[in-house]
Structure 1
Amino acid sequence: MPGASKPKLLVLIGPTAVGKTKLSIELAKHFSCEIISGDSMQVYRGMDVGTAKITGEEMDGIPHHLIDIHEPDEPFSVSEFQERCDVLIPEIASRGKLPFIVGGTGLYIESFCYRYEFAESGADEEFRREQALFAESNGAEALHGRLRAIDPESAERLHPNDTRRVIRALEIHKLTGETLSQRLAAQKKTTPYDLCLIGLTMDRQMLYNRIEERIDQMMEQGLIEEVEGLRKRGYTPDMVALQGLGYKEIWPYLDGTSTLEEAVYRLKRDTRHFAKRQLSWFRHMRDIHWVDVSEPENFSASYENIRAIIAGRFGSDF
């Protein structure tokens, strides 16, 4: 079988609220997996409601990795994700388990699966400060517009609130003359793994409805109290973690510069836009077996479909 000598790696991707968690647990039980989170926000301790972090009860005994490994003021990067997965995957395999990455952060997952190498392009601290001040004075959308003008593909992939990565993309262009999307396109995109990559998709309006329902649930589960707790611990909205969805939008309400209705409206709008960006990123990826899960009531059919794909990819052992 092609790739039989390579280590096996199962990956499940999809936009926020599409239903990755429930399917991942059932698949992990059947294929004896340990799950590695491919979500750039679930690494942060104390940020549970706003990131829709899986609970201990939902894990149902399945080991999970790369969750709650950083404080909110400690940045998490693509390179750290790669390094940690490099350690975790052979450890999981040594226990006779199948490594299983589950998440929606396309850059992290794609860069690991295909061993992206980002040559050092240096840093320009003064340029970073200038861009950060521009964003502070003119807003994240204006900064994002600067990126859109030089690199519309990266602008489509990066959320306007992700100012750190937007600034880094601008900095790369300034230092190298290349755009981030050009650097990504130049990667060889070969994988050292026997890779089975599953993507979940759904009718767009149904996905948007699920996103809005999830945000209503977050509000009921205490999202405002969670953000207030982070404020009381001394964290500030300019920190990378606090620029994430659910935190950036609620902060102005707590500051008294926004009504709650406005905050929730922005959160739902921004999360819909984020899901669109996730899908845009995934469309550029290769080797994905797409499964439409637009009929949530037919969970068993989706599960059996995915199980058959995995068994077909990895052979009779599964």
Structure 2
Amino acid sequence: MTEKPKPNLLVLVGPTAVGKTKMSIKLAKAFGCEIISGDSMQVYRGMDIGTAKISTDEMEGVPHHLIDIHDPDYPYSVAEFQEQSERLIREITERGNLPFIVGGTGLYIESVCYGFQFSKASVDEEFRQSHFKFAEEHGAQAVHQKLAEVDPKSAERLHPNDLRRVIRALEVFHLTGVRLSDQLALQKKESPYHLCLVGLTMDRQMLYKRIEERIDIMLGQGLVKEVSGLLAKGYAPELVSMQGLGYKEIVSYLQGEYSYEEAVQLLKRDTRRFAKRQLSWFRRMKDIEWVDVTDSENFPANYEKIHGIIAGKFLSNLEYTSKQSN
């Protein structure tokens, strides 16, 4: 019996502000793609500016999935992202289009690319609540330090403000005696898909400059008003969504913990650090073909290079090669 061929899956990753959105639209139009957002924050409605969410106009008619699917108080998880992405990949493939994941949330994207298995059984609600209470009394950094003592690799991967995931990593160790980082390391690294993984990178100082410019644009677009509006609707600062970059810093400003200038500088610093962690995560992934887009002004050359990588990977599929010539 002939083995059924693996579905094709195109993936574009890279740090924040590297230029994934513009590149993804041109590639999607060339290869007949539907885009699945690989961003854990863009799932939330009403969180547009701080997540650099693509607008309808910017989509240029390319179908996008997993954007604006939940309110900010919904506890979105990697397991849910994986389940939804696997369903979407099947449906997009059945429509004769190419599934295309675009984003920067490393664990989410890797979980789909390599079919990670997530435990749904082990939960200790009392343990969780005791650690949330500990965080209220001693701060998120103190909980993160607990994780660093038992699972330094997970602590390195998770930001102290990502309290829910930090506590989950502690909970996994508490229940199983096995570190979450060790469990992830044991995951099978063979993909259920015919993968084409492309990573965008650029000179670090250039990237940092772009990050700071993007934040200035977000502030000009009304980031403070967006965050203030979310608080006014009753979304608590402790929510995972409100702990996201661009939200927790502005919340701190609005609550009087920092001046506006201090909050902006904190946001720029935290975003630079986040981009560094994104690059570290993706560089540990296998199969990624990296394209240096430091010369961002030369978009056509960068596009042609990536187009060639994708065409080479999916060349045997006449359906996609015919769309390239359009």
Contact persistence 1:156–1:280 (CA under 8 A): no
How many percent of aligned residue pairs carry the same amino acid? 67
| Secondary structure of the corresponding residue to residue 249 of structure 2 | coil
Q: Give the Cα separation in 1 of the matches to 2:196 and 2:78.
A: 21
List runs of 5+ in structure 1 lacking aligned partners.
none
Q: Give the Cα separation in 1 of the matches to 2:102 and 2:17.
A: 13
Per mean C-alpha deviation after superposition, the further-off stretch among 279-288 and 66-75 is 279-288
| Matched length | 316
Cα displacement (A) at 1:40 = 0.3
Cα displacement (A) at 1:4 = 8.6
Contact persistence 1:197–1:288 (CA under 8 A): yes
Per mean C-alpha deviation after superposition, the further-off stretch among 198-207 and 120-129 is 120-129
Q: Corresponding residue for 1:178?
A: 178
Q: Corresponding residue for 1:207?
A: 207
Taking structure 2 as the reference length, what is the TM-score of the superposition? 0.94
| Secondary structure of the corresponding residue to residue 198 of structure 1 | strand
| CA offset digits 1:227-271 (Å, max 9, x no partner) | 010011111011111111111111011112221111111111111
State yes or no: 1:169 paired with 2:169.
Answer: yes
Per mean C-alpha deviation after superposition, the further-off stretch among 144-153 and 297-306 is 144-153
Q: Corresponding residue for 2:5?
A: 5
State yes or no: 1:99 paired with 2:109.
Answer: no
| CA offset digits 1:179-221 (Å, max 9, x no partner) | 1110000111111111101111111111111111111111000
State yes or no: 1:290 paired with 2:290.
Answer: yes
| Secondary structure of the corresponding residue to residue 29 of structure 1 | helix
Does the C-alpha gap of structure 1 residues 4 and 22 become closer, same or farther in structure 2, counting only changes over 3 Å? Answer: farther
Q: Corresponding residue for 1:158?
A: 158
Taking structure 1 as the reference length, what is the TM-score of the superposition? 0.96
Q: Give the Cα separation in 1 of the matches to 2:300 and 2:138.
A: 49
Contact persistence 1:8–1:99 (CA under 8 A): yes
Alignment of 1:209-288 (within 5 A): 209-288=209-288
List runs of 5+ in structure 2 lacking aligned partners.
322-326
| Secondary structure of the corresponding residue to residue 76 of structure 2 | coil
Cα displacement (A) at 1:142 = 2.5
Cα displacement (A) at 1:139 = 2.3
Cα displacement (A) at 1:121 = 5.3
Q: Corresponding residue for 2:324?
A: none
| CA offset digits 1:264-312 (Å, max 9, x no partner) | 1111111111111111111221111111111101111111111000011
Q: Give the Cα separation in 2 of the matches to 1:270 and 1:140.
A: 15
Q: Give the Cα separation in 1 of the matches to 2:168 and 2:280.
A: 20
| Secondary structure of the corresponding residue to residue 145 of structure 2 | helix
Per mean C-alpha deviation after superposition, the further-off stretch among 40-49 and 234-243 is 234-243
Q: Give the Cα separation in 1 of the matches to 2:8 and 2:196.
A: 8
Q: Give the Cα separation in 1 of the matches to 2:224 and 2:20.
A: 25
Q: Give the Cα separation in 2 of the matches to 1:302 and 1:9.
A: 21
The alignment's C-alpha RMSD in Å is 1.3
Q: Give the Cα separation in 2 of the matches to 1:30 and 1:168.
A: 41
Q: Corresponding residue for 1:83?
A: 83
| CA offset digits 1:58-117 (Å, max 9, x no partner) | 101101000000000111111111111122112111221100000000101101110000
Question: What amino acid does structure 2 have at the position aligned with 1:83?
Answer: E
| CA offset digits 1:128-165 (Å, max 9, x no partner) | 12221222222222222222222222122112211110
Cα displacement (A) at 1:48 = 0.1
Q: Corresponding residue for 1:40?
A: 40
Q: Give the Cα separation in 1 of the matches to 2:163 and 2:213.
A: 27
Q: Give the Cα separation in 2 of the matches to 1:119 and 1:110.
A: 16
| Secondary structure of the corresponding residue to residue 315 of structure 1 | coil
Q: Give the Cα separation in 1 of the matches to 2:209 and 2:95.
A: 40
Q: Give the Cα separation in 2 of the matches to 1:160 and 1:43.
A: 22
Question: What amino acid does structure 2 have at the position aligned with 1:263?
Answer: A
State yes or no: 1:187 paired with 2:181.
Answer: no
| Secondary structure of the corresponding residue to residue 192 of structure 2 | coil
Per mean C-alpha deviation after superposition, the further-off stretch among 113-122 and 47-56 is 113-122
| Secondary structure of the corresponding residue to residue 298 of structure 2 | helix
